[in-house]
């Protein structure tokens, strides 16, 4: 690798980072506006047209603020922790393809790298909680370790299922295998020539594997710590958890990482289940963004709707519901691939598991509300049933 290559790589990384920053800024704006509308507010309106400059103002404010370090904090750990959270979530993006050509380094083992890097941020959160010498922080750090490790398992199992279905760990191939053969020929031929293998499915995976989509979204929510799984920085309980002592630029780094991760969950959902960047009429990169932002908005929507789970309920849900279901998902994917049944059998199996087991779990986990609803003659979780 000569000097020019290194220079080009650095420039490419800088461009990627800038692009991600713009994405994060847009997400903050969308979140504030969308949440505002959900809550019958306007959201930001003062800074720029439609409050578009609000995230910029927020960023400037955060960076200009004094960066406090508690006197009892472990300074080295306190400094390193935000980077340990940001760098892995940034590095994952190196291998995420936005279109079939728009990717910094496409890896044959892309899925593997993503799963490996996702875990590193736990260390950062744990160190942040520990290093700030704050009891809320320590508690939040431990909570984050417990939560992220338990929800890593179903997430990985879903990723494994997707890999089984597409018979590839290459993200480009996974996306390409979900569209009709004529559309995806470019990528698939390229792989064939390189001697790689894949399984062409022809329809977006959400149609044949909705179970996986649901599991992936729930586990993804937990991975990025969004309501109802935001227990590791629950403001009303442990006041921000690992971030409690962070301010100014250090805090903004955590903030950036959190939003990059949220966007990552959206992007992965789009690549795994929604057919990636493929779509009619519009350019590929726009389709990728549309699909990703759609998932991200769903995440924001959930944030505006649900209260927070308690830590034991979260763990119970993770170990008793998510993990068994994700294993069932792997098994049905394997059975489907082994016997080479037609695609609709996969849809049936997936929907059956989701319907039967999902409904059973819903009844099981919501016994109190069912009882109360019966008592007071209401229907739980529905709108428009008062008096």
The reply on whether position 358 binds other proteins by CB under 8 A is no
Q: Which is nearer to other proteins, 90 or 251 (CB)?
A: 251
In contact, 221 and 306? CB cutoff 8 Å: no
Cα torsion 346, 349, 355, 361: sign = negative
In contact, 199 and 337? CB cutoff 8 Å: yes
The reply on whether position 302 binds other proteins by CB under 8 A is no
The reply on whether position 40 binds other proteins by CB under 8 A is yes
> Is-cis flag, bond preceding 228, omega within 30?
yes
**Interacting residue with other proteins among 18, 39, 45, 197 (CB under 8 A):** 39
- Least distance in angstroms from the C-beta of 143 to other proteins: 8
Contacts of 6 (CB under 8 A, 6+ apart): none
Window of 20-28, 183-191, 284-292, 372-380 that interacts with other proteins by CB under 8 A: 372-380
The reply on whether position 363 binds other proteins by CB under 8 A is no
**Interacting residue with other proteins among 42, 197, 313, 348 (CB under 8 A):** 313
- Least distance in angstroms from the C-beta of 134 to other proteins: 10
- Least distance in angstroms from the C-beta of 71 to other proteins: 17
One character per residue 55-74, x = contact with other proteins (rule: CB under 8 A)? --------------------
* Cα–Cα distances in angstroms (integers) from residue 13 to residues 7, 81, 93, 94, 101, in the given order: 10, 21, 10, 8, 16
Q: Which is nearer to other proteins, 129 or 228 (CB)?
A: 228
Provide the residue count of the chain: 387
Window of 281-289, 310-318, 319-327, 340-348 that interacts with other proteins by CB under 8 A: 310-318
- Least distance in angstroms from the C-beta of 209 to other proteins: 25
d(CA 325, CA 319): 10
**Interacting residue with other proteins among 67, 101, 185, 235 (CB under 8 A):** 235
- Least distance in angstroms from the C-beta of 34 to other proteins: 12
DSSP SS3 for 363: helix
The reply on whether position 18 binds other proteins by CB under 8 A is no
d(CA 271, CA 292): 9
**Interacting residue with other proteins among 126, 208, 213, 234 (CB under 8 A):** 234
DSSP SS3 for 164: helix
d(CA 237, CA 149): 21
Window of 22-30, 66-74, 152-160, 302-310 that interacts with other proteins by CB under 8 A: 302-310
d(CA 245, CA 251): 9
**Interacting residue with other proteins among 191, 227, 321, 333 (CB under 8 A):** 227
**Interacting residue with other proteins among 162, 214, 238, 274 (CB under 8 A):** 238
d(CA 161, CA 336): 11
The reply on whether position 297 binds other proteins by CB under 8 A is no
CB count in 10 Å sphere of residue 203: 16
d(CA 295, CA 217): 9
The reply on whether position 301 binds other proteins by CB under 8 A is no
d(CA 190, CA 179): 16
The reply on whether position 197 binds other proteins by CB under 8 A is no
Identify the burial level of 30 via C-beta atoms within 10 angstroms of its C-beta, where 0-12 means exposed, 13-18 middle and 19 or more buried. Answer: middle
Window of 2-10, 182-190, 329-337, 365-373 that interacts with other proteins by CB under 8 A: 365-373
**Interacting residue with other proteins among 79, 285, 306, 359 (CB under 8 A):** 306
* Cα–Cα distances in angstroms (integers) from residue 151 to residues 92, 218, 222, in the given order: 18, 9, 7
Contacts of 352 (CB under 8 A, 6+ apart): none
Residues that bind other proteins (CB under 8 A): 35, 38-41, 135-136, 139, 143, 227-228, 230-231, 234-239, 303-313, 365-366, 368-369, 372-373, 375-376, 378-387
């Amino acid at each position: 690798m000569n000097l020019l290559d290194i220079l080009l790589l650095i420039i490419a990384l800088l461009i990627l980072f800038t692009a991600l920053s713009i994405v994060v800024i847009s997400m903050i704006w969308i979140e504030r506006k969308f949440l505002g509308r959900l809550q019958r507010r306007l959201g930001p309106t003062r800074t720029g047209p439609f409050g578009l400059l609000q995230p910029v103002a927020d960023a400037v404010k955060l960076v200009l603020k004094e960066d406090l370090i508690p006197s009892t904090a472990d300074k080295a750990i306190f400094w390193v922790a935000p980077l340990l959270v940001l760098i892995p979530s940034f590095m994952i993006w190196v291998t995420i393809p936005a279109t079939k050509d728009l990717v910094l380094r496409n890896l044959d083992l892309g899925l593997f790298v993503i799963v490996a890097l996702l875990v590193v941020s736990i260390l950062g959160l744990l160190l942040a909680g520990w290093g700030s010498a704050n009891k809320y922080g320590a508690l939040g750090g431990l909570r984050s370790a417990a939560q992220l490790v338990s929800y890593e398992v179903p997430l990985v199992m879903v990723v494994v299922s997707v890999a089984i279905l597409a018979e590839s760990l290459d993200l480009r191939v996974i996306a390409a295998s979900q569209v009709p053969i004529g559309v995806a020929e470019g990528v698939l031929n390229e792989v064939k020539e390189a001697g790689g293998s894949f399984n062409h499915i022809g329809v977006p995976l959400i149609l044949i594997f909705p179970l996986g989509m649901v599991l992936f979204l729930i586990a993804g929510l937990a991975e990025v710590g969004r309501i109802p799984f935001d227990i590791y920085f629950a403001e009303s309980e442990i006041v921000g958890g690992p971030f409690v002592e962070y301010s100014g630029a250090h805090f903004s780094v955590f903030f950036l990482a959190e939003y990059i991760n949220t966007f990552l969950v959206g992007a992965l959902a789009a690549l795994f289940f929604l057919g990636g960047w493929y779509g009619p009429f519009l350019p590929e990169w726009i389709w990728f963004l549309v699909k990703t932002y759609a998932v991200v908005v769903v995440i924001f929507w959930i944030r505006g709707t649900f209260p927070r789970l308690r830590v034991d309920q979260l763990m119970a849900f993770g170990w008793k519901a998510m993990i068994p279901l994700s294993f069932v998902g792997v098994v049905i994917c394997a059975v489907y691939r082994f016997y080479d049944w037609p695609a609709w059998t996969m849809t049936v199996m997936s929907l059956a598991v989701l319907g039967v087991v999902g409904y059973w779990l819903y009844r099981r986990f919501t016994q109190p509300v069912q009882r109360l609803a019966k008592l007071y003659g209401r229907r739980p979780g529905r709108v428009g049933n008062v008096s």
